[in-house]
Amino acid sequence: VAAWQRCDRCRRVLGVEEFDGDGTQCRACLTTPVARPKVAKASPVRTRSTTPREPVPAGPRQPLLGIAGQGDLEVRERRARRRAQDALVEAHPEEFEQLLAAARQVEGLRA
Ligand SMILES: [Zn+2]
């Protein structure tokens, strides 16, 4: 009972016992690490040319959504602190004036 099958890789016609179940490649091919064709990786220059970069859309840029999220953590921390201080000054102007006057005195400035 001889059944034959052609290997998809080496194109040899071999007995089905050389194939793993319904595999289309013979055992020799499956166990041998034959380098698969790496055409794309072998020629990076050609790969680049075949996949052109998406053209940058012309026209106005997307408007920046405020300054949120810009800068590193330290910068954002300082900015948040400054913003809170400004809000605090606006919320309590009298207290701020008093504190500022005291601070100016410490610095030797005239109130
Ligand atoms: Zn084979």
pLDDT, tens digit, 9 for 90 and up, residues 4-23: 999 999 999 999 889 988 88
> Please, which residues have CB less than 5 A from ligand 1, an ion?
7, 9-10, 26, 29
Centroid of ligand 1 to alpha carbon of 43 (angstroms): 27
Ligand 1 center–CA 28 separation, angstroms:
6
- Which range of 4-8, 30-34, 39-43 scores highest in mean pLDDT? It is 4-8
Question: Phi-psi category of 71—alpha, beta or left, where left has phi over 0 and alpha has psi -120 to 50?
Answer: left
Q: Which amino acid is at 5?
A: Q
Ligand 1 centroid – CA 3 distance (Å): 16
Please state the pTM of the whole predicted model: 0.31
From the CA of 24, how far away is ligand 1's center (Å)? 8
User: Could you tell me the distance, in angstroms and rounded to a whole number, from the CA of residue 33 to the centre of ligand 1?
Assistant: 11
Alpha carbon distance 13, 31 (integer Å):
17
Measured in Å, residue 66 CA sits from the centre of ligand 1 at 62
* Exposure b/e, 8-34, CB count within 10 A at least 16 = b: eeeeeebeeebbeeeeebbeebbeeee
pLDDT, tens digit (0-9, with 9 covering 90-100), for 50-87: 566 777 667 766 655 555 556 789 989 999 999 999 99
